[in-house]
Structure 1
């Protein structure tokens, strides 16, 4: 609450005594402004009072019918009595404003006038409560009750620009001051204030009228009638603040009576000059003591509002009222830490309607205090902003997440990445790209966010997916479509493919994901991943080990597709083909099988997915690559062998190629026999049995030499 907390240097204003030393005719309004400028607490309370004025309830309109004359219904009764030569004991016999309170037995107005006066006074009190003094004066004039207008106008301190020597704040001047160079305000304000106090304490007046005069001249003496009319907590706060402001100004002006013409009269001007040394020091010390005593009283009065009873609206323990009071008392650190602690301990029901607005309020409070350079507890701020981010996520307000996550400082990137991870499969590629772009718009490192999001998504998917270990999977037959968890892992790569700067990371992550899918036998899902990757990844050359691994995966899928095309072409053969169709089909069949054989042999003889155990410290990666070879090397060998043998009737030379393949498998340079395991369909013995059958098939053409086919 104290402006001195701002890192910006406060504006310097002349103190009241300096103004009076140069001009003893300085108007009270100027002195009051100087007193306020010299007191940080008073300046803050004035701001609070203005805020309370703006937040006041709307003044209800009063019935315009009774405004057509001053007590016209009462006047009608009196005129009727005169004509009838009679008197009504219940109605006043005079028309002056004090008639209802005069005499031992006070009389009343006519019922319509009484009701109107009651509504008028209530409306005037509401206008004063809202700080709309000019509107209240105008309402009195329209009601033909000028004495009430005069009473309300008396609250204005005397101001006179012509004789003011203080520097003018043009922004603070209202339009009337700019036009009117004469004086305005109350020349006898102390007398007026005494009269208002007497009226506020007058038991014969209605409670509302007493409250009206108490509001015009708030003081400890009039606090009773004033607070009696306060129905809400904000009203109670307004009463305390109004009393505090008026008291400080009254004491400050009274302390200047010996130096001010308007406060002390001619004696203050014509009296002997005051010695600056002794008197100035004494008065300065006295003013400091008065300020300290006043501050203690004000803080005590404000603290009492923490448990004040109210008739309407939220109680004093309402979170927003507690917050407002802490802010006014300059205890924002205590407030934020208490709220953050309650959040951490789960004391709030996150499903309650008030929780969202309360989280929003505290989040914006933290951001506003940061914006005006007021230090706040960083840990509490992190907790509060995190809570509000969760509210935004729950509400689906994705476009706001980056903005508030950006306020988390060092944790901003991780927090926004957490949000992007939570999108899972609910956002398509365009929505993901847009969400990532918002990070840059709000000052976040887009590259770091993308990498962190991809890493978090991969970790989350791996936590839910079964590990790629145990018995080798079967890759024969149709595979089921990707599960949600597999889709999540598959699409995690999108985050690092949007920007060229993260392509190296995308390459590394793609290899990790491919190793998992291939290690689980999910060939089609792995193929879908490769198809998602930008073509630029294939041109990356460093790190060499990762680039080579990625290219070898692409090589594998080229081989895999080649074998699949051979099978598809083989299935196209039909007895009903004519000679030309069969010749064309046979040519395609030969070409596809030749290409597939060459590609498989190239893969088998080029150390596919073999890494140097001495050069790598990543045992897990090495184990994963060994598992992939154990799954697919035997499968490629057996598939190619079967296709070659099956085509021998149309391409006899392929039987020779099948036996030559066995020589390559047996070659220790390629270590292919190490990839056969003791599992059905992948045993080396199974392959050797197929080779034996191929040798026997070579005898179908006649002869007894089983190896004759190799020499042909």
Structure 2
């Protein structure tokens, strides 16, 4: 999953880099008054740094949604349109003889504020249902499914909770066919006032942790947002980025107060909000430092390190760390690094070509060493990756491949694949034969040959058979017969 997530990240970063964007906000603002949503949309299109943060948030939400769909670990929420059904049942029974579980500490009203106002509790089953609902709401918001979170509140009979969530939506004017018709709006005209009220929920320690975190994310309150992250790298990064985006959008709207039409925030409310909700504007690099400090001693995985470098645009750092990874990482990660190098080269972003070559050589060597029984099922694969390294390395790597292929029925395919990939197969074949000759010369002392008149009894035929079979490579290549004859004579000598 981490590897797939990294490719998705690289795709969205590259797609944004090749998309044309307006150079300035002034190019987009052509009217004197605009809705908040229109104004903020223009901001995202013109501000590359803010757009990057949103791209990363979208990526984190998409990967979380995929993970949630694959695992389905969230507790189910029963949609019965009845709020606190167990509590309601107890209240309806009242003092009846059938009400054996009557609890004097239970609320006597069904409005959402009753537990706080009466300082009483709801039914234990309802409390658990509330906890499951709040956790599921946070999960939906974490997965970028805001509308689904609101719908879930409605289906659970808690429309008031859904209304609280929707206070976050920016004010927007719906298009009208008739200019004289009444103006219809969507979103919240009193968004700043809602934020100030939402801070009360986010800071209320008696509220459900996941509900506080959800409200904190929407209102831009970082401390409460972190409560549900539990030291998870992706969740912590998502929370920090969401808060940064929210803070920058709010700052932008206040700076363009005259441009954002129908901004109904009064001066006293704005003063209260700014005094209670203070978010420091930090860079992406500082965000990662903050995330690292909250990971409870956990270390980033190799994939997460790559993801961080990609987000920051530090390609050179990936190359430098690759020198350590190729000596210690598992085979699957080496494969990923090799493909990352190839993709970065296609994108024109390979600042250290020699390091990339080392990664590719390591991967090809890994593929060759993984062959068993002297056969190869897909020589085209190895030939392609071999063709991506410098010519000198191509020849030695392909010679190594030839040295591993002992079965004759696979050799023609190896030769054909190498030629199609542009590899100097004849040179590789000569290197393979010379290596076999060198091996038999080094191991000659281990051969004990006893001759009689008709036969030679060999105690070890492995090296001899191997060097003889190596000549077959030259026989499969045109115009290599003279070379084969020369090497066979050298072998006999």
Provide TM-score, normalisation by structure 2. Answer: 0.79
Paired residue for 2:487? 512
The more displaced of 222-231 and 150-159 is 150-159
Q: 2:304 is matched with which residue?
A: 321
- For 1:39 and 1:398, the matched residues in 2 are separated by 51
For residue 92 of structure 2, what is the aligned residue in structure 1?
79
**Is the alpha carbon distance of 1:216 and 1:419 closer, same or farther for their aligned partners in structure 2, counting shifts above 3 Å?**
farther
| Closer/same/farther in 2, CA of residues 7 and 135 from structure 1, 3 Å limit | closer
Give the counterpart of 1:116 among 110, 129, 136.
129
Structure 2 residue 459 is matched with structure 1 residue 478: no
Would you say 1:31 and 2:39 are equivalent positions?
Answer: yes
Q: Which residue of 2 aligns with 1:49?
A: 57
Kindly indicate whether structure 1 or structure 2 has the higher relative contact order, using CA contacts under 8 Å at least 6 residues apart.
2
Equivalent residue, structure 2, for 1:420: 401
Out of 488, 498, 501, the position equivalent to 2:476 is 498
Q: Deviations over 1:657-683 (max 9, x none)?
A: xxxxxxxxxxxxxxxxxxxxxxxxxxx
The answer on 1:15 being equivalent to 2:28 is no
Q: Aligned pair in 2 of structure 1 residues 496, 249: CA closer, same or farther (>3 Å)?
A: farther
**What's 1:298 paired with?**
284
- C-alpha distance after superposition, 1:541-568 (max 9, x if no partner): xxxxxxxxxxxxxxxxxxxxxxxxxxxx
**Aligned partner (choices 95, 109, 116) of residue 101 of structure 1:** 116
- How far apart, in 1, do the equivalents of 2:16 and 2:200 lie? 46
What is residue 40 of structure 1 aligned with on the other side?
A: 48
Superposed CA deviations along residues 604-656 of structure 1, whole A, max 9, x for unmatched, are xxxxxxxxxxxxxxxxxxxxxxxxxxxxxxxxxxxxxxxxxxxxxxxxxxxxx
Is residue 237–residue 287 contact of structure 2 (8 Å, CA) maintained in 1? Answer: no
Give, in whole Å, the separation in 2 of the partners of 1:10 and 1:68: 45
Determine if contact 1:159/1:184 at 8 Å carries over to the other structure: yes
Match of 1:153 in 2: 166
**Higher radius of gyration, 1 or 2:** 1
Q: Partner residue of 1:545? A: none
Partner in structure 2 of residue 457 of structure 1: 432
Change (3 A) 1:456 1:156: farther
Check 1:377–1:211 CA distance in 2 against 1; reply closer, same or farther (3 A cut).
same
SS of the residue aligned with 2:389? helix
Which of 377, 386, 408 is the aligned partner of 1:429? 408
Cα distance change, pair 212–4 in 1 and its aligned pair in 2 (3 A): closer
5 Å-filtered alignment, 1:498-647, equals: 498-500=476-478, 503=479, 505-517=480-492, 519=493
Alignment of structure 1 residues 658-669 onto 2, 5 Å: none
Structure 1 CA distance for aligned equivalents of residues 140 and 227 of structure 2: 17
1:358 corresponds to 2:371: no
2:358 maps to which residue? 383
> 1:5 deviation in Å?
9.0
Extract unaligned runs of 5+ from structure 2: 1-8, 177-182, 267-279, 445-449
Q: 1:202 to 1:364 in 2, by over 3 A?
A: same
2:165 alignment partner, SS class: helix
Q: Distance in 1 between matches of 2:476 and 2:173?
A: 68
Task: Calculate the aligned-residue CA RMSD, in Å.
Answer: 3.5
Q: Which runs of 5+ in 1 are unaligned?
A: 164-180, 267-292, 520-712
Q: Give the Cα separation in 2 of the matches to 1:102 and 1:297.
A: 43
Q: Say whether the 8 Å CA contact 1:424–1:488 is kept in structure 2.
A: no
**Where does residue 255 of structure 2 map in the other structure?**
255
Cα displacement (A) at 1:131: 0.9
- Equivalent-residue separation in structure 1 for 2:332 and 2:430 (angstroms): 33
Q: Distance in 2 between matches of 1:456 and 1:359?
A: 27
Number of residue-to-residue matches in the alignment: 445
